[in-house]
Structure 1
């Protein structure tokens, strides 16, 4: 194992165990709501009735094919299926969506430039536009050597002093960056500045035998960094790969009431089912208020705006009002980087991407439609749905919610949606562990990703790589990598007859 691969597994077991027990207490201490306040008594009963898990698999549930409610796109399936506007957006909001789309695709350039509204890239960066990572608004490619790759390495070290532990416990910080390389390995740089390094990944194949004798080969990745341009990493720094997720349905996820997500949290496994999902407690980047984390592979961001501002800063090196450093992820140890020109134009604002730009990109990101289900009522799909439920998958991949009635965006208000996620943190076992603590998430914990749209990954993004680092080459491999709290469901899948396994995959492909 390379030094970097070994380093990514180094974290304090004591600290992570301590922080793991804080989730429920933090939710109480910070007064996160445990009961919906946006509903009448009659509405609350309707919501309880419609979100109750089904036990009838003979037919599709009412409205099941419209998995984003009124916002669902019913356009024909194409490579642009993740790029449509929510179907219930009023006409007057189509213009900001289109402007946000243009900014999402915008290629930023280095400063100084004659195109002053587009300069400020980097100086260190991973991508020149949002679309570089989110291919057709879908999942990125896990190919570090490819020009179309959206794979990068997060850098972080575990809290190691009492003050640092308190900062994490109070949600004052998500993690502690490498003192030289910052929060993310930047594999690109503007002219005149060296990049930080290059991610290297190698795979070993591991066979897994399923019921009936079928053999599946899983590829286990090993990550390292070549050509470090600024000296070695701190010995305590962990490295963790990330692939950009799909963009659909983000505004609807933000509109799920905190109480409905917290209702599924059980960090102490009081019900004894082996599932102990916990809430991620973070601070809103703009207001500083405590909020429920629900975006990012470790639920480190509370809102679509937080997620957008974080990507602008760390992926592209563009400052916004929420993340105002025009030098992006450059650290004080990188003096030449800090001395490079920025794209701040005072006549346009104090940031390279002033408030209106962040507003438009956030609006666009929040209103990308979820496509309608395909073949939701077909017998094979319904059979797979039943297998999915009976295998225990819905313990984490919670099927449905009703969004807030008082959502600020009326298009996202009081919608029955089917994201198939609890948006909580779960221990996924040694196989998927990255050793990197991010806020309350330990090195073994990940947010349950929503499954809606997963069946269109190949159509939209041109590949079928899954999980946070794209190691799984198809849905079967993705399931077989599940461990920890999901081990029982993973084993149930592996022991199924071949036709039942295929039915479950058919169900997932319909989402």
Structure 2
């Protein structure tokens, strides 16, 4: 079932043998770390997996990357697509286990997004298990594709407006503020109070290690910031986890609105592909969408469209995707950039290191992830990033201007894997420096320090971040 390219990767995970005592931070995932670059940099299993675990990784990889088809079909293990969807596979959004991007202009028109989705909600009392109140006609997510006999919900539009500024040395820069909209809406207008949040699909390497960070460490991050002087005051997002059936600390999603990889995976199967499971039942058709409701009543006759063992294999696959070792760690420019990163206060939110513990769902992870010293550069907390980045859409405890600190490891390889350098929650930033320039709110002081840096210092800062 595996793609040919993946078969050749499964044994390609030994640690570099030339250095017996690597510098601190070079082994980003401890013993799980792999030494690789190029297009497959995010797609390797943890280096310390057993042979049995590598087999399970291969099975999960197959179901993650292969397309699902409409039901009923002769391929029973992969049917059930839709009725509404935005992608036909997990890999459709996370190409090569990497990062999505905003739509591009082709032939004078913006293509329809795949690796970027549009969250929808309206103000009001949120569903305690969903964290938001879905838009009444189009639900919690806008889907621009559909199976035969069902109308796609519509099309996404995008325009940008320039945001100009200059550094202290006189160098000018121009950022692009995205403005999203909708057209050809199939089921009538949206609520005039609709709240819209574009979210780009992030790269997946190392997420099992992020899941294995103890909740106590995340809570301590918030306590330490609360007790420290200055504007950095990160907050925990507490969210409902469908797998554990309890409230937990959120750590995934751009607003830390998901607590576990298992919940995130089930939700993405249903929301992005239209594949139901025990943790995410129901197709998500709203009462207005009669064709969607009619289509959802066929196919599997109400049964879940991905069985539990397969779903757990897909979760396992993601959990053991290995982080990549740092590059050029001894380069003088990288070292200069690291000093500037710390001087600007970036490490206050982008906490460098943790020691992992057992995650919440050990049957869908590996014990080899436990007890590792890892270097993801995140505090997994929500921070107010100011009006420039605000989407105005609350999500559980997250406000409309708060975003979770993203992990920085692997950021320098997005270009090699996915052919672009789009960063931030909606991909608006083209590269590390633009991402920094968008920082506001709690991060305003750090952004101001970067504005004062010379061209050479800015280049060193970017090179350091891209080495992670």
TM-score (norm 1): 0.83
**Residue 73 of structure 2: aligned partner:** 113
**Residue 378 of structure 1: aligned partner:** 331
Q: Using the TM superposition, give the Cα deviation of residue 236 of structure 1 relative to its aligned residue in structure 2, in angstroms.
A: 2.2
Can you give the 5+ residue segments of structure 2 that lack an aligned partner in the other structure?
1-20, 105-109
1:225-247 Cα distance to aligned partner (Å, 9 max, x none)? 11111011112221111110001
User: What count of residue pairs does the alignment treat as equivalent?
Assistant: 439
Distance 2:321 2:227 in 1: 37
1:446-482 Cα distance to aligned partner (Å, 9 max, x none)? 1100000001010011101111111111111111000
CA contact (8 A) 1:121 1:318 kept: yes
CA contact (8 A) 1:211 1:498 kept: no
**Residue 467 of structure 1: aligned partner:** 424
Of 287, 291, 297, the residue aligned with 1:332 is 287
Distance 2:260 2:298 in 1: 26
**Residue 122 of structure 1: aligned partner:** 82
What SS does structure 2 have at the residue aligned with 1:263?
Answer: helix
Distance 1:229 1:352 in 2: 26
**Residue 7 of structure 2: aligned partner:** none
Distance 2:450 2:299 in 1: 53
Q: Using the TM superposition, give the Cα deviation of residue 192 of structure 1 relative to its aligned residue in structure 2, in angstroms.
A: 1.2
CA contact (8 A) 2:120 2:196 kept: yes
Distance 1:238 1:84 in 2: 37
What SS does structure 2 have at the residue aligned with 1:155?
Answer: strand
Q: Does 1:252 align with 2:209?
A: yes
Distance 1:98 1:104 in 2: 10
Q: Using the TM superposition, give the Cα deviation of residue 116 of structure 1 relative to its aligned residue in structure 2, in angstroms.
A: 2.2
**Residue 104 of structure 1: aligned partner:** 64
What SS does structure 2 have at the residue aligned with 1:321?
Answer: coil
Q: Does 1:397 align with 2:350?
A: yes
Of 105, 109, 118, the residue aligned with 1:153 is 118
Q: Using the TM superposition, give the Cα deviation of residue 221 of structure 1 relative to its aligned residue in structure 2, in angstroms.
A: 1.0
**Residue 454 of structure 2: aligned partner:** 497
TM-score (norm 2): 0.90
1:344-382 Cα distance to aligned partner (Å, 9 max, x none)? 647xx9310010111011000101111110011211111
Give me the CA root mean square deviation. 1.9
Structure 1 stretch 106-115 or stretch 351-360: which is displaced more? 106-115
User: For residues 353-502 of structure 1, what are the structure 2 equivalents within 5 Å?
Assistant: 353-404=306-357, 408=362, 409-502=366-459
1:112-140 Cα distance to aligned partner (Å, 9 max, x none)? 22222221111001100000100110101
Q: Does 1:65 align with 2:65?
A: no
Change (3 A) 1:269 1:158: farther
Structure 1 stretch 361-370 or stretch 200-209: which is displaced more? 200-209
What SS does structure 1 have at the residue aligned with 2:141?
Answer: coil
Of 270, 290, 305, the residue aligned with 1:352 is 305
CA contact (8 A) 1:310 1:323 kept: yes
**Residue 214 of structure 1: aligned partner:** 171
**Residue 159 of structure 2: aligned partner:** 202
1:262-298 Cα distance to aligned partner (Å, 9 max, x none)? 1111599443311111001012112321211000001
Change (3 A) 1:268 1:414: closer
Q: Using the TM superposition, give the Cα deviation of residue 405 of structure 1 relative to its aligned residue in structure 2, in angstroms.
A: 6.1
Distance 2:396 2:112 in 1: 31
